Structure 1
Amino acid sequence: MTEILTPKVLVVGGGPGGYVAAIRCGQLGLDTVLVEGDRLGGTCLIRGCIPSKALIHAASLYAEMTEAANRPRFGIGLTTPPMLDFGATMAWKDGIVDRLNGGVGGLLRKAKVKTISGWARFSDAKTCSVETADGKVTVRPEHVILATGSKPVELPFLAFGGKVISSTEALSLLEVPKNLVIVGAGYIGLELGIAYRKLGAEVTVVEARSSILPQYDAQLVEPVRRWLKAHRVEVLLNAKALGEEKDGIAIEQTDSGRSILPADRIIVTIGRKAAIDGWGLEAMNLKTSGPFVEVDERCHTSTKNVWAIGDLVGEPMLAHKASAQGEMVAEIIAGKKRRWQPVAIPAVCFTEPEIVSVGIGPADAGPDTISAQFPFAANGRALTMAGSENGGFVRVIAHKDSHRILGIQAVGIHAAELVHHFVTLIEMGAVLEDVSGIIHAHPTLGEATHEASLAALGHALHF
């Protein structure tokens, strides 16, 4: 017999947008059901942000120990190279994922959210059927929050399967490839490529455009480019992947023609697309905008009481954007007045070194702005962590007359940990004088933000 549920809210998708929306709905006393076809946590927790950062951390430790065996630093050396048990590394990574997955389930139970495991299929905007291990469940809610996320883009001439894999499979390999080719030099591809290079793989990056990390300006990217060159990661720009070959991948470069690159694994990381197929979008009478579901400033779709959040509604495809939208929609359903109006959404790239950007960059800065930067080479904390050697810096962009801060970027060691400082300053409407008047703890990397602001005002103290 089919079980029929009639909750106030149905959330489809248990990723960072969906589960946050469901938890907030529960906290607000709304009867809520969440349907997830895979594991709670979504792409970010299960097969994206969290496992990739675990792999990056382990790879960095291994690389540091390998270097200590070859060339002692800081008076520290190893008499033999470190041993890598990659299976154990992956097991540790999986343990972190499992722990967080269980944590999400616990938070949903605490908020009194009913979770259904199975694939949601809509026959109309307010009727959803789920085939579960215990039978069919039909859900007829008053409100629907769609948080189905995104999936990797597949190239027709490099279909996923065998040695051609997406970022998902790249985080579950059983051994480190001897020869690894990354197709796409965006942040996902370079994060994975750098991690596997540190683990010992020979890595080649194939990029059809003329630069790596095209979403960032050349000055931010330069320290990453230098790291890739110093660690013998071959970067082929203006190069097009043609297809898989028996022993590798065929490519064509503008200046040198066709060639074959050896590859045990080929990771295709050319982007992600909204997951709009297979759950009944066509039956819900929703307007779309290109490949995304169209929403207004409240994340409301064209159909009454149907909401959409996260990757499903467009760029930026970031977990923290999805979570913020999920929280907002839950509060709107509960009767609060909210709308989507962030001043800035931070972006972080966990390459070597890390890159962060909030607000406008140099390309958007006009004649009515001023800009200044402060190098980590002049920052005491960066020096104590050997993080001053890669050309890292903090840059501040502000309005010339009002001195209101419009953008902040950084590249360097642990730069990601500065991003909340950056976004807070922009969201709060801070001016350069605000930052110059704040006493920053010494010695910290955050002092570079203070000094960059002082430099924009014309009187940096330590540079």
Structure 2
Amino acid sequence: MDSYDVLVIGGGPAGYVAAIRAAQLGFKTACVDAFERNGKASLGGTCLNVGCIPSKALLDSSEKFEMIAREAGEHGIQVDGATVDLGKMLGRKESVVDKLTGGVAYLFKKNKVTSIHGLGRLVRQDGDAWIVDAAGQEVRAKNVIVATGSSPRALPGVPFGGNIVDNSGALAFEQVPAQLGVIGAGVIGVELGSVWRRLGAQVTILEALPGFLLASDEAVSKEALKQLQKQGLDFHFGIKITEVQQGESGVTVTYEEKGQPVTTRFDKLIVSIGRVPHTAGLGAQEVGLQLDERGFVKVDDHFRTNLPGIYAIGDVIGGPMLAHKAEEEGVAVAELLAGQAGHVNYAVVPWVIYTSPEIAWAGLTEKQAKEQGHKVKTGQFPFSANGRALGHGDPRGFVKVVADADTDKILGVHMVGPNVSELIGETVALMEFGASAEDLGRTVHAHPTLSEVVKEAALATDKRALHM
């Protein structure tokens, strides 16, 4: 029977990073993962295979098409008759995924992580180790890290299949649907809706909540919704789905809006109403691994479960279902096993939505800061006053800094605009070290760059913005 210091169950961002870091720290490490793509084993989990990476590849391709077909004329570039070769576009997406999933396999070999393809199931404790069924073969492990991730949540009584798809199916339409319905106005629904809208679909987004991105700062959510609606995305909020009927050529959805029944037919329907922890086949009940009332594995501040030697990280323990959060937990748990001070600061985990314009935030919203008792000051600066944004031809949106009025400490930063997925990193680093708005405003930023908007927003907290 093979024996390991650390066995990771799950090869997504949480699992593969935990395995690599554990191996770097000198542990004999294995990772058992059952994910398959196109009938073959493929490391990287949902994120690399059918989530973050392929969706961003399609977002980029669709943005390039829209730029060439509809916006190039503003730059003096005339392009007539631009068309989409959807098969080639999807092929490019697959090639990007192949490179990254292959890269994880290479990193496992480089770091001497044993990769086992198949299901991992907790069997029993044996002295100071656990016996795990890894793809039908029992192995021993002193420490087991559960990183089994999450699965798309389906509508009650409406399984995925046919013309009703989850995030994976929405990345592989064989043709652009004329009428596309999306249930759920969260990150995944809005990003995938944006892809197919640019490629020619009429997109209707149905959301049960009364407003858009209620977790973000109100100013950002309002601006983002305005920009997305201008592009043609048709949002409906406060919706109650009452019936979904699938036919051979489409899906009929009946819902209540403002107390009135509405029936609409779509060629395809994307259901994006959240994700649920994936513990099926793990053997949690058999070995007594505690789950909470929603099915998440219960852990303490050091990712320890109720069973000695078993840890859990990533989507399966709840919290923000974000790949970068999962990766940091993977690093932290491996370092804790090595006696180091592994830690994740959840207060400054950034959120990003890769629409156009992009949306990003970290830390507290203005409302949250006030609710927590802070005396708040804010600064806001528009991309329309930024030379680089104007040169790009994309001056939409702004950056907003929320700071404590007494201490000047940055409490949160919220952005909507071009490339804000990259700009948010600077502010996260500063918040990690407890920086003030003055620190950010005094930092020299290259000119002309989009990052100057971040500096100006920080200066604006004291009414010192220089270019507005």
Same fold per superposition (TM over 0.5) = yes
1:411 aligns with one of 400, 413, 416 = 416
Corresponding residue for residue 16 of structure 1: 13
Whether the 8 Å contact between 2:217 and 2:414 is mirrored in structure 1 is no
Bigger mean CA offset, 322-331 vs 333-342: 333-342
Whether the 8 Å contact between 1:127 and 1:139 is mirrored in structure 2 is yes
| AA partner of residue 238 (structure 2) | N
Q: Aligned with 1:320: secondary structure?
A: helix
**Structure 2 matches for 1:25-40, cutoff 5 A?**
25-38=22-35, 39-40=42-43
Return the alpha-carbon distance in structure 2 between the equivalents of residues 253 and 342 of structure 1.
37
2:2 aligns with one of 1, 5, 12 = 5
Corresponding residue for residue 73 of structure 1: 74
Residue 218 (1) aligns with residue 225 (2):
no
- Cα deviation, residue 229, structure 1: 2.4
Alpha-carbon spacing, 1:245–1:21, altered in 2? closer, same or farther (3 Å): closer
- Cα deviation, residue 384, structure 1: 0.8
Bigger mean CA offset, 443-452 vs 365-374: 365-374
Q: Aligned with 1:267: secondary structure?
A: strand
1:362 aligns with one of 359, 366, 377 = 366
Whether the 8 Å contact between 1:343 and 1:426 is mirrored in structure 2 is no
Alpha-carbon spacing, 1:245–1:258, altered in 2? closer, same or farther (3 Å): farther
**Structure 2 matches for 1:138-287, cutoff 5 A?**
138-241=138-241, 242-246=243-247, 247-255=250-258, 257-287=260-290
Whether the 8 Å contact between 2:335 and 2:342 is mirrored in structure 1 is yes
Q: Aligned with 1:433: secondary structure?
A: helix
Corresponding residue for residue 55 of structure 1: 58
Return the alpha-carbon distance in structure 2 between the equivalents of residues 365 and 249 of structure 1.
43
Residue 423 (1) aligns with residue 428 (2):
yes
Bigger mean CA offset, 162-171 vs 219-228: 219-228
Whether the 8 Å contact between 1:373 and 1:396 is mirrored in structure 2 is yes
Whether the 8 Å contact between 2:332 and 2:341 is mirrored in structure 1 is no
Identity %: 39
Q: Aligned with 2:208: secondary structure?
A: coil
| AA partner of residue 6 (structure 2) | V
CA shift digits 1:395-450 (9 cap, x unpaired)? 11111111011111110011111011010010011112211221111011111111
Whether the 8 Å contact between 2:366 and 2:376 is mirrored in structure 1 is no
Whether the 8 Å contact between 2:379 and 2:463 is mirrored in structure 1 is no
Q: Aligned with 2:261: secondary structure?
A: strand
Whether the 8 Å contact between 2:403 and 2:410 is mirrored in structure 1 is yes
Whether the 8 Å contact between 1:157 and 1:243 is mirrored in structure 2 is no
Return the alpha-carbon distance in structure 1 between the equivalents of residues 69 and 344 of structure 2.
47
| AA partner of residue 75 (structure 2) | F
Corresponding residue for residue 321 of structure 2: 317
Corresponding residue for residue 384 of structure 2: 377
Return the alpha-carbon distance in structure 2 between the equivalents of residues 343 and 206 of structure 1.
30
Whether the 8 Å contact between 2:334 and 2:342 is mirrored in structure 1 is no
Corresponding residue for residue 337 of structure 2: 333
Bigger mean CA offset, 45-54 vs 275-284: 275-284
CA shift digits 1:191-214 (9 cap, x unpaired)? 000110001111111112221223
Return the alpha-carbon distance in structure 1 between the equivalents of residues 59 and 76 of structure 2.
25
Gaps of 5+ in 2: 36-41
| AA partner of residue 282 (structure 1) | Q
| AA partner of residue 171 (structure 1) | L
Return the alpha-carbon distance in structure 2 between the equivalents of residues 382 and 308 of structure 1.
43
- Cα deviation, residue 223, structure 1: 3.0
Return the alpha-carbon distance in structure 2 between the equivalents of residues 167 and 139 of structure 1.
34
Corresponding residue for residue 91 of structure 1: 91
Whether the 8 Å contact between 1:224 and 1:351 is mirrored in structure 2 is no
Alpha-carbon spacing, 1:62–1:409, altered in 2? closer, same or farther (3 Å): same
Whether the 8 Å contact between 1:179 and 1:201 is mirrored in structure 2 is yes
Whether the 8 Å contact between 1:128 and 1:139 is mirrored in structure 2 is yes
Return the alpha-carbon distance in structure 2 between the equivalents of residues 435 and 444 of structure 1.
15
Gaps of 5+ in 1: none
Q: Aligned with 1:167: secondary structure?
A: coil
Whether the 8 Å contact between 2:148 and 2:316 is mirrored in structure 1 is yes
Whether the 8 Å contact between 1:239 and 1:254 is mirrored in structure 2 is yes
With normalisation by structure 2, the TM-score equals 0.93
CA shift digits 1:74-102 (9 cap, x unpaired)? 21111x22121101100100000001011
The root-mean-square deviation of aligned C-alpha atoms, in Å, is 1.5
Return the alpha-carbon distance in structure 1 between the equivalents of residues 60 and 391 of structure 2.
20
Return the alpha-carbon distance in structure 2 between the equivalents of residues 442 and 68 of structure 1.
26
Alpha-carbon spacing, 1:21–1:270, altered in 2? closer, same or farther (3 Å): same
Residue 348 (1) aligns with residue 355 (2):
no
Q: Aligned with 2:360: secondary structure?
A: strand
Alpha-carbon spacing, 1:114–1:213, altered in 2? closer, same or farther (3 Å): same
Return the alpha-carbon distance in structure 2 between the equivalents of residues 408 and 171 of structure 1.
31
Corresponding residue for residue 300 of structure 2: 296
Q: Aligned with 2:388: secondary structure?
A: helix
Give the number of equivalent residue pairs.
Answer: 451
With normalisation by structure 1, the TM-score equals 0.94
Whether the 8 Å contact between 1:186 and 1:214 is mirrored in structure 2 is no
